Amino acid sequence: MKKIKSLLLLSIGLIVGSAQAEKISIDRIFSSPALNGTTPKSLKFSPDGSRVTYLQGKASDKNRYDLWEYNLASKEHRLLVDSAALFSGTETLSDEEKARRERQRVYGFGIIEYTFANDGNALLFPLNGDIYYYNLADKKAKRLTETAEFETDARFSPKGNYVSFIREQNIYAINIDTGKELQLTKDGGGIIKNGMSEFVAQEEMGRMTGYWWSPDEKQIAFLRVDESPVQVAIRNEIYAQDIKLVEQRYPATGTNNVNIQLAVVKLSNKRTRFIDTGEETDIYLPRVQWLPNSVEVSYQWQSRDQQTLKLKVYNTKTRKQRTLLTEESDHWINLHDDLYFISDSKSFVWASERDGYKHLYHYDIKGNLINQLTQGEWVVDSVKAIDEKAGWIYFTGRADTPLERHLYKVPLDGKAPDHVVRISKRKGFHSVTFAGDQQSYIDSFSNIETAPQVSLHNLDGSMMTWLSQNELNQDHPSFNYLSDMVKPEFGSIKAADGKTQLFYKLFKPKTLKPGKKYPVIVKVYGGPHAQRVTNKWHGVDMFQYMVQQGYIVFQLDNRGSNYRGTDFEFDIYQHLGEVEVADQIEGVKFLRTLPYVDADRIGIYGHSYGGYMALMTMFKAGEYFKAGVSGAPVTDWLLYDTHYTERYLNHPQANAKGYQDSSVFPYIEGLDGPLMVYHGMADDNVLFTNTTKLIKALQDQNKRFELMTYPGSKHSMRGKKVKVHLNNTIIDFFNRQFNLAPE
C-alpha cells in the first residue's frame, strides 16, 4: 500500500517545450500528423527474431497504414509495403467487414492487420477485400485472391503451406505452392456462417474468429453458427443522402441466441465431424484451442447465465471428451485468453478469479491442480510467455499498483506465488510482446510525463535499443503545445460504504487565480471491464483543451470497473446505475471541498456506458450534476445484447425489477438541469432506438433537452469531421450552460 500511496501523491513535471506555447485547437487534435507522434502499432517479432514489424500511418494521413520493419542486425527502419503502391483508390468494404472492424474498434485504411508465417519467411495481409502474400526474401508482394467477393480473417497454416480465409461465410484454403483453392465448408450463406464469430462473440467475448488450425495443419476446428433463432431488428441506418433499411439479427437480452456447433474438418478429404457439446444448446462457446499434440482440441463451454464455465477437451481420434475443470460463480465468470498448454500436452496454465483476484494456476492434463502460481490482493492482466526450459512464466499485472501495468515473472514450479519478480523498470503502463525464442521482448510504454515509446529489452528488463523513442523535442508534433500542458493529480477517496478505495485523477488549469472558482467536467465511463484512472500518457488531447478553456476535468473509477478484484466488480450485479452513481456522487462531494471548484457548475459527460451514466446522474442526482452530455447511451437494458446484459443483470425473467430499476426511464422526472444527447444514426451496437425512446419520454414529460445526431456514424463516432464537430458541440454546450466564454 505504501507504493500505491506514493504513486497517488506523485508530482510530475512536464518538459517545457517553448517559451510561448501555441494554443491547441480541436481541429488540430484530430488532424495529421498525430500529436502523439508516429508511434508504431501492431508490433510483432519475426519468428526468427531478426526483425520487428509494425504498422505506421503516413505522415500525410495518420489513418492510412503501411507495413514497416526494424532490422535488428542493421538497426534500420525501412518501409516493407507501401499500401498505396498496391492500391491507391478508396477502399470498398463489405458490410461484414465494416461490422467486423467496428467490433475490433479498428479505424483506418491500407494495411490494418497482418500475420507472419511460422518460418518467418513471409507475411500475409488483406487489402481492399483481397489477400496479399509478401515474400521477405525477394521483397515482393503478390495477390493471392482477386475476386468480386470479400475475403476476411486470412491467416497462414501452422507449417506455412496454406493460407486460409473466409469467403461468403465459408472456410477456404489456398495451397501456396500450387495456387489450388480448397473449399472446406459449403453450406455457408444467409443465416449459416462457418468459421465466423457471431455478433456477441465479437462485441462481448473478444473472439473475432470462428476457426482454428491444428498444429500439424491436417485439421481445422470451426464453429458453425445458425442465426435463424435470433430475432430480426429492423432499423434505419440514416446517411447524409440516403436511408438504408437494415434487417439485423440482434440478440436482445432475454431473447434467443444463435445455435452454435463445434466441428472439425480434415483437409485430406474435407470430411466434417461435429463435436457433441451436450444436451443444453442455449450456451456459449467463447474459446477454442488445439493442444500441441494436434490430436486433441479444447473448448470452453459457458452457460447462458455465465455463472458456469467448463474447460473441455475432445480427442479427434477416439471421439471421446473430458472436462478438465469447472469454474463457478454466484455472479458471473469473466472470460480470459490465458490458457496455455505445455508443449508435451501433459499440463496447462490457466487463469482464475476463484480467490477474488485473477491469478495463474498450473494443472496436469487430467485437471488436477499442481500449484497456484501467483497470489495476492492484485490482479494478473495476461500471460505473455512461458519459458519451459528455464521454468519461468512471464505476465503483465498490477502487483505494484492497480494504476500501472508491469511485466513480471514467477517460477513455473509455484513455490513462491506471493513473491513475483518485477521486470519492467519505469513507472507507468507497459504493453509487452515476446520474441518467439522468449529471450527478448518489445515494450510499448507511456506514463503521464512520457509520450508513447517502443523499445526492445532483454529478459532482465534492460533496454537493448529504441524502436521508437518519440522524444518530446523540437521535431515532435506536440512540441509547440507542451509548455501549456498540465499534469493530472492522482488521489483516492472512500466510497459511501466508508471502506472501498476509489481512485481519481484531476486536471486543473496551470495557474489558478486566487479566489476564482472554476467549473468542472466529470468525464465518466463507469462501466465494467474498463479503467480510466491510470498512469499513462494523455498528450495534447481534449482534456488539455478543456483545461485551457477554463475547466477542471475529473475522472473517477467507480465500483464495477476493472482491475480491482471481483468484490469491487460484483457490487453492480443485478442492479446497474446504483453504486456507480453513488460513487460518482462521492467524487462530486470531494470536488466541493476544493476551494477553487464552483459547486454550482459541475457537469458530466460520457459515451456509451458513460452516456448511460450521464443520464442516470442527471436524473437521479441533479443536485450534484448541473449539466450533462450523454453520448450513444443505453437507456433501456432490454434493448441491449444478451451476453453483456445478462452477465450483469441476469435474465429479464429472473430479474424483472432489476431491469426496470436499471433503466433511465423511472427517473426522468428528476431532470432539472440542461441535457444534451448525441448518437450516431447508423449505430449497430447501442441501437439508435435507445435514443429515440429517450426523446419520446423526455417530450412526454415536457423536459427540455438538446439533440445532435450524426448521419452514417456507428457507435465509435469515427472520422475527423465527425470528431471535430462533436467535440466543438460538447464544449459549446458546457460553455453556454456555465457562462464560460471560449478562450
Asked if 299 and 287 touch (Cβ cutoff 8 Å), the reply is yes
Within-domain flag for 80: no
> What would the pLDDT profile of 302-358 be if each residue is shown by its tens digit?
999 999 999 999 999 999 999 999 999 999 999 999 999 999 999 999 999 999 999
Q: Is 700 considered catalytic here?
A: no
Q: Is 567 considered catalytic here?
A: no
Of residues 39 and 237, which shows the higher confidence score? 237
CA atoms within 13 A on the CB side of 46: 19
Domain termination residue (choose one: 253, 272, 298): 298
- Predicted confidence band at 117 (pLDDT cuts at 50, 70, 90)? very high
Position 93 scores a pLDDT of 74
In angstroms, rounded to a whole number, what is the distance separating the alpha carbons of residues 51 and 387?
A: 21
Return the percentage of the chain with pLDDT > 70, whole number: 97
Lowest mean per-residue pLDDT among 101-110, 285-294, 473-482: 101-110
Within-domain flag for 447: no
Highest mean pLDDT among 84-98, 223-237, 243-257, 622-636: 622-636
Cis geometry, peptide bond prior to residue 33 (ω within 30 degrees of 0): yes
Position 618 scores a pLDDT of 98
> What would the pLDDT profile of 679-690 be if each residue is shown by its tens digit?
999 998 999 999
Position 4 scores a pLDDT of 43
Q: Which residue in the list 336, 430, 679, 715 is annotated as catalytic?
A: 715
Within-domain flag for 216: yes
Flag whether pLDDT at 415 surpasses 90. no
- Predicted confidence band at 10 (pLDDT cuts at 50, 70, 90)? very low
Position 463 scores a pLDDT of 96
Three-state SS at 684? coil
Within-domain flag for 686: yes
Flag whether pLDDT at 742 surpasses 70. no
CA atoms within 13 A on the CB side of 378: 25
Three-state SS at 63? coil
Asked if 350 and 360 touch (Cβ cutoff 8 Å), the reply is yes
Flag whether pLDDT at 637 surpasses 60. yes
Position 11 scores a pLDDT of 37
Q: What is the CA radius of gyration of the chain?
A: 26
In angstroms, rounded to a whole number, what is the distance separating the alpha carbons of residues 473 and 396?
A: 30
Show the domain range for 525.
517-535+549-737
Position 465 scores a pLDDT of 92
Lowest mean per-residue pLDDT among 94-108, 145-159, 206-220: 94-108
What Å distances lie between residue 587 and 89, 297, 466, 492, 496, CA to CA?
50, 48, 40, 9, 10
Helix axis angle, 579-592 to 609-620, nearest 10°: 70
Domain termination residue (choose one: 298, 327, 361): 298
Position 137 scores a pLDDT of 86
Position 39 scores a pLDDT of 75
- Predicted confidence band at 40 (pLDDT cuts at 50, 70, 90)? confident
Within-domain flag for 316: no
- Predicted confidence band at 743 (pLDDT cuts at 50, 70, 90)? low
Average pLDDT over residues 166-170: 96
Within-domain flag for 222: yes
Of residues 84 and 733, which shows the higher confidence score? 733
Flag whether pLDDT at 78 surpasses 60. yes
Position 378 scores a pLDDT of 98
> What would the pLDDT profile of 650-677 be if each residue is shown by its tens digit?
999 999 999 999 999 999 999 999 999 9
Flag whether pLDDT at 1 surpasses 50. no
Within-domain flag for 219: yes
> Nearest to residue 592, comparing CAs of 664, 648, 532, 519?
519
Q: Which residue in the list 430, 683, 713, 716 is annotated as catalytic?
A: 683
Position 14 scores a pLDDT of 41
Of residues 142 and 209, which shows the higher confidence score? 209
What Å distances lie between residue 36 and 65, 273, 357, 467, 469, CA to CA?
16, 50, 34, 15, 12
Three-state SS at 615? helix
Domain termination residue (choose one: 267, 298, 329): 298
Which CATH number covers residue 699? 3.40.50.1820
Q: Which residue in the list 347, 352, 444, 608 is annotated as catalytic?
A: 608
In angstroms, rounded to a whole number, what is the distance separating the alpha carbons of residues 448 and 490?
A: 11
The dihedral sign for the CA sequence 197, 198, 199, 203? negative
| Domains of the chain: total | 2
Cis geometry, peptide bond prior to residue 417 (ω within 30 degrees of 0): no
Looking at residue 641, the DSSP 8-state letter turns out to be: B
> What would the pLDDT profile of 365-389 be if each residue is shown by its tens digit?
999 999 999 999 999 999 999 999 9
Average pLDDT over residues 417-430: 94
> What would the pLDDT profile of 272-284 be if each residue is shown by its tens digit?
999 999 999 999 9
- The mean of the pLDDT values for the chain is 93
Q: Is 538 considered catalytic here?
A: no
Highest mean pLDDT among 2-6, 175-179, 625-629: 625-629
Within-domain flag for 683: yes
Position 20 scores a pLDDT of 61
